[in-house]
Amino acid sequence: MAKAGSETVVVVDFGSQLVQLIARRVRSQNVFCRIVTSSASAQEIAAHNPVGIIFSGGPRSCHEDDAPRPDEKIFELGIPILGICYGSQVVCHMFGGRVEGASSRQYGHTIVHVTDRGNPLVHSLPDSFRAWMSHGDTIYHLPEGMKQSADTETAPNAIVYWPEKRFYGVQFHPEVVHTDVGDSVFHNFLYEICGCSGDWKMADFIETTVNKVREVVGDSRVVLGLSGGVDSSVTAMLLAKAIGSQLSCIFVNNGLLRLKEEQEVQRNFSGKFGLDFHYVDAADRFLHALAGVTDPEVKRKRIGHLFIEIFDEEASRIQNVKFLAQGTLYPDVIESVAAHGGPTAKIKSHHNVGGLPEKMNLKLVEPLRELFKDEVREVGVKLGLPEHLVWRHPFPGPGLAVRILGEVTKERCDMLRKADDIFITEIKAAGLYREIWQAFVVLLPVNAVGVMGDERTYENAVVLRAVESRDGMTADWFRMPQEVLNRISNRIINEVKGINRVAYDISSKPPATIEWE
């Protein structure tokens, strides 16, 4: 939907965990980029009309029979290529260089020494710098015509270049923060080698997208499911700017929201921006559909189906609807190679409005389809969304239902909402909210014995979950200061009737997941 900047860089994914980070690094230099899989042909890559190509790292050794290789014709396109780690090794291997397993795997910080200043990739880099390595293979001999530009104590070809093929390679990972000169490496590649002008800016994105939406939508009506989260809120703001009163937003209160969330969404959007706002209070219907259900997947399915049913009912009352808007982001549409080479297994079925467009015979409008989460936030700020909304932690579609283990009832929802609000309030008061990817409380289906005053109690136990993460794919438990935990625990037990025990979850993902269900 959104029009990319005129300059595009294509990142070829060889199965790197860091491929999205490479893309973010490029975009933060104001150059648009797309990710394609390593099976993309030269023709497919050329169709993006790229000014530069980046080969990512990857978990494989280029000696393995089925290790991914780029299409050799890519080298005939005459477009500069930056190879990172595996992306360098595989090129050397393909063109007759010698790549072998290093005597010991290089992992962690290494000092890189620049040996030849002729390579524009090393312009402005200091003579020595600290870089992050993570590889099992090393390039020992270069193909004919390729030159060394830097080495390390154990890797003779830490940076290489091949003027004839316009190929530039690094053995380290410039995309991770631990490489001191990472930004300079990308800057040199993009600006000195590819000749970029840096035309990818969020303000331009807004303008281009607004024009494009107007063009596509014409005078039809667009309907949007507004959840109050960052993605759907930014989608609403962007569409409101583009088509104002032609936008109808449907906000379904499923009774599984956080404390006072339904009031907040209404306050932010109802009667604002000229848009047509529909509030549907369906809390009772959702609770009824969940009565007696304890299986997490059944909960998700019932919530998903009912949401579609209600959305459909409400939307069918609106005239002349031709489009359904969705807050789909770029990570949702990238077809990345999983580390093991195949599609990633379905761990949990995620709830979205899948099935709706066909059912309602609607076309899709997805104005954020090209953006990463932090870009969406930037757009949100530029469009005037309140800070706290823009930085809000992600919240799952099935809401509190997957945080109440066992049966979901109104009483349990209310209890969890209060505990969750205390947790978040205290995290914010301690200034930790932005450091945490997601924080929430989980209500367990067990009672624990306690004592309050002289009375024995037998009440609910909750778990606090707070994680650090870059994208939700992997996560580590947040090292919460003890005094903050202490305050939270005291407040929850004293203020929330029915809870007498608080635990802290110290599992990482994998093997655990972020949510408990």
Catalytic site includes residue 278:
no
**Per CB under 6 A, does 392 bind ligand XMP?**
no
Catalytic site includes residue 85:
yes
3-state secondary structure 276-327: EEEEEECHHHHHHHHCCCCCHHHHHHHHHHHHHHHHHHHHCCCCCEEEEECC
Return d(Cα 158, Cα 151) in angstroms, integer.
5
**Per CB under 6 A, does 300 bind ligand XMP?**
yes
- Among candidate residues 175, 262, 314, 426, the one labeled active-site is 175
Q: Could you list the beta-strand ranges (E) of 73-220.
A: 81-84, 98-114, 128-141, 147-151, 159-162, 167-170
**Per CB under 6 A, does 317 bind ligand XMP?**
no
- Among candidate residues 62, 85, 196, 249, the one labeled active-site is 85
**Per CB under 6 A, does 509 bind ligand XMP?**
yes
**Per CB under 6 A, does 332 bind ligand XMP?**
no
Nearer to ligand XMP, 347 or 451 (CB): 347
**Per CB under 6 A, does 438 bind ligand XMP?**
yes
Of 25, 165, 258, 351, the one binding ligand XMP by CB under 6 A: 351
Residue 335: is it exposed, middle or buried by C-beta count within 10 angstroms (0-12/13-18/19+)? exposed
**Per CB under 6 A, does 331 bind ligand XMP?**
no
Nearer to ligand XMP, 345 or 347 (CB): 347
Q: Kindly state the smallest distance separating residue 293's Cβ from ligand XMP, in Å.
A: 14
Please give the C-alpha separations between residue 29 and each of 24, 133, 283, in angstroms, as whole numbers: 9, 23, 45
**Per CB under 6 A, does 254 bind ligand XMP?**
no
Q: Kindly state the smallest distance separating residue 7's Cβ from ligand XMP, in Å.
A: 32
The distance in angstroms from the start CA to the end CA of the chain is: 34
- Among candidate residues 135, 173, 351, 393, the one labeled active-site is 173
Task: Give the sign of the dihedral formed by CA 15, CA 21, CA 27, CA 29.
Answer: negative
**Per CB under 6 A, does 397 bind ligand XMP?**
yes
**Per CB under 6 A, does 345 bind ligand XMP?**
no
Nearer to ligand XMP, 214 or 509 (CB): 509
Record the tokens describing residue 313, joined without a space: 């009912």
Catalytic site includes residue 192:
no
Segment holding 485, helix H or strand E: helix 482-495
Q: Rg (Cα) of the chain, in Å, rounded?
A: 26
- Contact predicate 356/350, CB 8 Å: no
Of 109, 288, 350, 388, the one binding ligand XMP by CB under 6 A: 350
Omega of the bond prior to 394 within 30 degrees of 0, cis? no
Residues that bind ligand XMP (CB under 6 A): 300, 347-348, 350-351, 394, 396-398, 438, 472, 509, 513-515
As annotated, the active-site residues are 85, 173, 175
